Amino acid sequence: MAGLVPDKYKVSPFLVFFLIHSSQFGVGVLGFQRIIAKNAGYDAWIAILIGGLAIHPFLWMIYKMAGIAGGDIVSIHEFTYGKMLGKLITLPFVVYFLLYSVVTLRTFIQIVQVWMFPEISSFWLGLGLILLALYVIQGGFRTITGMVFFGIILTLYLMLIFIYTIPYSDYSDLLPIFNHSFKQIGIAAFNMSLTFNGWELILAYYPFIKNPQASHKWAQRGILFTTLAYVYIAVISFGYFSEGQLQRNIWATLSMFKIVEMPFVERFEYIGIATWLLIIIPNICLGMWAATRLLKRTYKIKQKYSVYVFAVLMLVSTVLLRGREQDDFLNTFTGRTGFVINFGYIPLLFIGVLIARRVKRNGKT
């Protein structure tokens, strides 16, 4: 099989928990509150639960399709559409995964420019981050997974930092529950689903998991953990900020870091942003690796060449994007593309895989 991966390049099933969680918990967590509270107010935590729980059946579909086709999205497409058409349909996934990395990189650069160094060059900062990502990618998927694992473990302490806001919070504002219509909560859940994007990267790295079907439970747990983490941060934020403050605060999570006072540091948000780099770099690597991996699977282009081409494209895109409006447009476009893929195309593809399996079983062409 073309997509067969030797065991020495594979990772243990439980590490999928970290891969799923990391890909969903990138730059979006730093400012998601304003987006969902715009429609649902303090009921937005319900929208987070709806958006997170809705992913579970679609993740099950991916595992079911991968088990039937015996591999990644390329194998699934070839199983369903045939080799020629299957390769062609895979190309949009290459573009989407690359956009995932571009959005992650550009958003983090914007955060650094706004919160830390306003005069820093997008080119030089982007170049430094891309070179670091290239260095990690050269180690292969196991190295990327190791970065993902330690990135999550080493940043878990930030979840405890939010406790500093509790003495200054009023959680009675969250009552009464269901103070907004189902339509408003539904719109907020849709907006939250754009933040949850990233779990679909498993379509590329599925063959790199030892006994991949055994990792299904860990993937589902990763989705659940991410959902609960977002709910936790949202509830803390809603107690600390008024609805008016949330609408004026683009990076609410970072703003909560400002309240932290320690004898040895005056601006804790600097430490928070620097620490978050441990999550951002692996996410950039995952997107670039997934895009180049699918390109290798479809058109036999070696990853060691395509990854440099994609790195240049990412750097050019980062420099050309100027202003908050262009960044927001790219974020929205990428998020909605991911929504269409995850909640529109995947169920249709799932039906197609079931039909293709039945046709093949009946010996038809």
pLDDT in tens, 125-154: 999 999 999 999 999 999 999 999 999 999
Mean pLDDT of 31-55: 89
Tokens of 269: 């948000």
Q: CA–CA separation, 187 vs 193, rounded Å?
A: 10
Mean pLDDT of 196-225: 93
Given a cut of 60, is residue 175 above it in pLDDT? yes
Domain boundary assignment for the chain:
7-334
Mean pLDDT of 182-194: 88
Pick the range with the lowest mean pLDDT from 39-53, 166-180, 275-289.
166-180
Tokens of 90: 């895979």
Note the maximum CA span of the chain: 74
In CATH terms, the superfamily for domain 7-334 is: Amino acid/polyamine transporter I (1.20.1740.10)
Q: Name the pLDDT band for 364 (thresholds 50, 70, 90).
A: low
Question: How many Cβ atoms from other residues are within 10 Å of residue 45's Cβ?
Answer: 23
Given a cut of 60, is residue 365 above it in pLDDT? no
The label of the residue with tokens 């790219």 reads 330
pLDDT at 1: 46
Q: Let me know how long the chain is.
A: 365
Given a cut of 50, is residue 190 above it in pLDDT? yes
H or E element, residue 107: helix 83-115
Q: What is the residue-averaged pLDDT of the chain?
A: 89
Question: Is residue 305 a contact partner of residue 159, using CB atoms and an 8 Å limit?
Answer: no
Given a cut of 80, is residue 265 above it in pLDDT? no
